[in-house]
């Protein structure tokens, strides 16, 4: 039986590309309309894994998914990076000169803003990049185009009018792979955790120093509001290291002495582009 892997978006979305990049083709990607539904699909056992975006190199963090990591009892078991390469996609037979309006996810439109201005077209935000291609196909309007991946054009049998239209080519999205059970990775690992602190002077400095004093590499720090406690925060941290490493274990023990809440969200293999 094929593994079922939940993602948010339509078939052909960049999230589906992350699923296939991590697991290969011999699985069943399961599209979900929202991040919440993708999380629920894994928690309920409907899907074996979930692959959800957590940050983009241009747009920053996907805050809703940080909140959902805390709300759901799932473990991070992997990560995948995807190069986001936007294409202008239209009906077969149309040309770029025919296009009067372009639709896509708000983030995709923003990432192609200069190019779209040069084209002199109107824009409209919709719920999903791949979904925008589906809308163009359903409307059958030769003056309407979408911004999405080359795979989305293939899935919906549409034409790529132009490739690589993003304003900044250094456009990458990092995805987390989620499961109901943790993994024990071999080789280089990353660990993600979340904690809260007393709101006193120097608390965050002291918390971060437990890693600095042990030369542990922090790769990401994110703060989110603590629900029910105005102006207090949750701190999410990614660091390079395995919980079984005595150096990392001592750092977490030290952090636990000052944190009012500490939860490890996962230890998982670190992604490398050359793998």
Residue 2 CA to residue 102 CA, distance in Å, equals: 37
Query: Which whole-number Å values give the CA distances from 156 to 8, 13, 73, 102, 134, in the listed order?
Result: 18, 11, 35, 17, 7
- CB neighbours (10 Å) of residue 168? 11
Is there a contact between 14 and 150 (Cβ–Cβ < 8 Å)? no
Q: Of the residues 7, 39, 175, 239, which is catalytic?
A: 175
Q: Give the start-end residues of each E strand in 101-214.
A: 101-104, 122-125, 144-148, 159-163, 172-179, 189-197
- Does residue 40 carry a catalytic annotation? no
Among 206, 89, 196, 184, residue whose Cα is nearest residue 144 = 89
Tokens of 56: 């983009």
Q: Of the residues 94, 129, 173, 192, which is catalytic?
A: 173
| CA triple 2-72-247, angle to 5 deg | 95
Among 143, 238, 149, residue whose Cα is nearest residue 189 = 238
Among 106, 148, 185, 211, residue whose Cα is nearest residue 15 = 148
Q: Work out the widest C-alpha separation in the chain, in whole angstroms.
A: 65
98 secondary structure, DSSP code: G
Active-site residue list:
173, 175
């Amino acid at each position: 039986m094929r593994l079922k892997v939940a993602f948010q978006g339509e078939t052909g979305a960049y999230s589906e590309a992350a699923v296939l990049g991590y697991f290969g083709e011999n699985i069943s990607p399961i599209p979900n309309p929202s991040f919440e539904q993708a999380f629920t699909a894994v928690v309920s056992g409907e899907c074996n894994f979930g692959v959800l975006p957590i940050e983009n190199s241009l747009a920053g963090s996907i805050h809703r998914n940080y909140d959902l990591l805390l709300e759901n009892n799932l473990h991070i078991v992997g990560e995948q990076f995807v190069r986001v390469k936007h294409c202008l996609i239209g009906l077969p037979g149309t040309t770029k000169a025919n296009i009067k309006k372009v639709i896509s996810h708000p983030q995709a439109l923003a990432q192609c803003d200069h190019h779209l201005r040069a084209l002199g077209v109107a824009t409209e935000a919709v719920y999903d990049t791949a979904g925008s291609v589906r809308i163009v196909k359903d409307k059958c309007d030769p003056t309407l185009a979408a911004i999405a991946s080359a795979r989305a054009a293939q899935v919906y049998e549409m034409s790529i009018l132009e490739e690589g239209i993003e304003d900044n080519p250094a456009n990458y999205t990092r995805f987390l792979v989620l499961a109901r059970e943790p993994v024990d990775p071999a080789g280089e690992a990353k660990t993600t955790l979340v904690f809260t602190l007393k709101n006193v002077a120097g608390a965050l400095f002291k918390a971060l120093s437990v890693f600095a004093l042990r030369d542990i590499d922090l790769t990401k720090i994110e703060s989110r509001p603590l629900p029910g406690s105005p102006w207090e925060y949750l701190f999410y941290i990614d660091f390079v290291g395995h919980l079984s490493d005595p150096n990392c274990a001592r750092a977490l023990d030290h952090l636990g002495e000052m944190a009012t809440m500490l939860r490890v969200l996962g230890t998982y293999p670190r992604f490398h582009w050359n793998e």
